[in-house]
Amino acid sequence: MADPLSQARVKKLREARKALGERETNVWVPAHIQAAIDRAVEAGQFPNRRLAIIHALEQTFAERDM
């Protein structure tokens, strides 16, 4: 189990993101997609997996101005 300080940091981070209107969602990612995400991060295309996944979701689901 995580130490109390770590738990407090995670709780604070989750509360801050929730206040911004974000929602935590867990999904199972196929191995080939995870590998592609990892390659994009390693190549410097994204600073981390989270932002790579958000980018992909925005490209697919965000409404576009027309």
Tens of pLDDT along 35-63? 999 999 999 999 999 999 999 999 999 98
* % residues pLDDT > 90 (the chain): 88
Per-residue pLDDT band at 64 (split at 50, 70, 90):
confident
Spatial CA neighbour of 45 closest among 32, 14, 54, 24 = 54
For residue 6, the model assigns a pLDDT of 92
Spatial CA neighbour of 14 closest among 22, 6, 2 = 22
The yes-or-no verdict on residue 2 having pLDDT over 80 is no
For residue 65, the model assigns a pLDDT of 63
